Amino acid sequence: MPDAAYDNGNIFSKILRGEIPAHKVYEDSDVVAFMDVMPQAPGHTLVVPKAASRNLLDADADVLARLLPVVQKIAIAAKTAFGADGITIMQFNEAPAGQTVFHLHVHVIPRHEGVALKSHARGMENGDVLASHAAKLKAALAV
């Protein structure tokens, strides 16, 4: 079980409530995907279930069942949109494991041969760059 109760003051809960903007690329009744503001590589996207859970450890199995197909959809589109050689999927549970925002989310990161990931959750990307990456990804999702 998680180390603490879910707290809806977290940044992704605020994005889900529309209180904070995000560069959204996908939304259905259960899941939203938007660009990470501190991307570890161009096209770094976060796939977020609307249902509240702190991370994987306290999530309902049916929420997870609706989340993974969206992760796959974003990963396939991101590979095309960013001409990636591969896709890294990451998901952290609790601070010692690297989690910094305590609403369940999955990282989808386009990778290129020989290019290392940038640091996790450091270095804010320019808003215009994020907007252009979101537009590329949305175009690939629409195909």
Q: Which residue among the candidates 23, 105, 107, 133 is catalytic per the annotation?
A: 105
- Quick check: 52 binds ligand 5GP (CB under 6 A)? no
The only residue of 24, 98, 115, 135 in contact with ligand 5GP, by rule CB under 6 A: 98
- Quick check: 101 binds ligand 5GP (CB under 6 A)? yes
Task: State the minimum distance, in angstroms, from the CB of residue 72 to ligand 5GP.
Answer: 19
- Quick check: 63 binds ligand 5GP (CB under 6 A)? no
Of the pair 37, 52, the CB lying nearest ligand 5GP is at 37
The only residue of 25, 51, 92, 133 in contact with ligand 5GP, by rule CB under 6 A: 92
Alpha-carbon gap, residue 22 to 119, rounded angstroms: 21
Of the pair 11, 76, the CB lying nearest ligand 5GP is at 11
Whether 105 sits among the annotated catalytic residues: the reply is: yes
- Quick check: 37 binds ligand 5GP (CB under 6 A)? yes
Question: Of the ranges 62-70, 71-79, 93-101, 108-116, which one interacts with ligand 5GP (CB under 6 A)?
Answer: 93-101
User: Which residues on neighbouring strands pair with residue 35, listed in sequence order?
Assistant: 45
Alpha-carbon gap, residue 32 to 5, rounded angstroms: 22
Q: Edge to edge, what strands does the sheet with 106-111 contain?
A: 24-27, 31-35, 45-49, 106-111, 86-90
Structure tokens at 138: 């949305």
CB atoms closer than 10 angstroms to residue 96: 8
CB atoms closer than 10 angstroms to residue 110: 26
- Quick check: 89 binds ligand 5GP (CB under 6 A)? no
Helix residue spans in the chain (DSSP H): 11-16, 61-81, 127-142
Catalytic residues: 105
